[in-house]
Amino acid sequence: MPTPPEPISSIAGLLRRLESHYGKQEPLWPTDPYLFLVWWYCGYPASDATCARGWELLKREIGTEPRQILAASPKDLAHALKPGGMVPELRAMRLKELAARIQDEFGGDLRSALIRPLAQARKILKSFRSIADPGADRILLFAGIAPLPAVASNCPHVLVRILHGHERDNYGVTYREAQEAIAAEVPAKVDARIRAYLQLKRHGQELCKRKPKCDQCPISRSCAYFAGKHRGRGARA
């Protein structure tokens, strides 16, 4: 019988084991801030799959530059966005708004406008529709502008389960605890934090889902949730 892996005591160790299980992860979305916003509006409800479907047809039929989006008719834009899911007409309007703002307010270069104190950069990003703090942090991290401890908005529970046993009832608290854990242990470097974001996201999508598949998990021996379950209850710090 194979020897079970040793428990891991640090987030760096957890990430190493996740990486040896899933392999190196790459972002599935554009990392330029403007292009990320275009991609984000390509799907609804927004997910990697819906956004990618809308994005592909938009690129092929219209293009992603502000001038191309502004030149397209609302009907053609909505048609290109249709594979991305619901309300393509509304998303077409959002793309037009975005393209107009990028040209008029930012001279066609959103990335350069974000090179400023963090609070101001976040404020700019949050002025775009559907972008709250998690989205703003994700954009700034993946664009290489600031090494923020961003956490995938659909997976903050992963790290909190591992460290504390259960995600909290309040999403905002779970999100903050995941960010604090990354800020405390993952070096404040863009590459290191992107790696943490992508590995924890992948784990949340594959195994540590709402209903986790703990029996297949490569880090179960280091997980407080798993330990609590095997004592007959989930641990809670």
147 vs 212, which CB is nearer to ligand SF4?
Answer: 212
Rounded CA Rg of the chain: 20
Q: Which stretch binds ligand SF4 (CB under 6 A): 45-53, 132-140, 188-196, 218-226?
A: 218-226
Least Cβ distance, residue 16 to ligand SF4 (angstroms): 15
Number of residues that bind ligand SF4 (CB under 6 A): 13
Measured from the CB atom, the residue of 114 and 223 that comes closer to ligand SF4 is 223
Question: In residues, how long is the chain?
Answer: 237
Q: Return the closest-CA partner of residue 73 out of 51, 101, 92.
A: 92
The span from the CA of 140 to the CA of 147, in Å, is 8
Sign of the alpha-carbon dihedral angle for 125, 129, 133, 137: negative
What minimum distance in Å lies between the beta carbon of 154 and ligand SF4? 14
Task: Choose one: 35-43, 59-67, 118-126, 210-218; the region binding ligand SF4 (CB under 6 A).
Answer: 210-218
Stretch that binds ligand SF4, among 20-28, 118-126, 136-144, 216-224 (CB under 6 A): 216-224
> Judged by CB under 6 A, which of 57, 118, 214, 235 binds ligand SF4?
214
Q: Which of residues 124-143 bind ligand SF4 (CB under 6 A)?
A: none
8 binds ligand SF4 (CB under 6 A): no
220 binds ligand SF4 (CB under 6 A): yes
Q: What is the spatial distance between Cα 208 and Cα 214, in angstroms, rounded to a whole number?
A: 7
Among 109, 182, 110, CA closest to 147: 182
Give buried/exposed letters for 18-30 (b at 16+ CB in 10 A, else e): beebbeebeeebb
Rounded Cα gap, residues 153 and 119, in angstroms: 20
Residues from 149 through 178 that contact ligand SF4 (CB under 6 A) = 161-162
What's the token pair of residue 219? 């880090």
Using CB under 6 A, which residues numbered 64 to 123 contact ligand SF4?
A: none
3-state helix, strand, coil in the chain (%, to 5): 60, 0, 35
Dihedral (CA of 195, 177, 158, 142) sign? negative
The residue among 69 and 208 lying less far from ligand SF4, judged by its C-beta, is 208
55 counts as binding ligand SF4 under rule CB under 6 A = no
Binding site residues, ligand SF4, CB under 6 A: 161-162, 207-208, 212-214, 217, 219-220, 223, 225-226
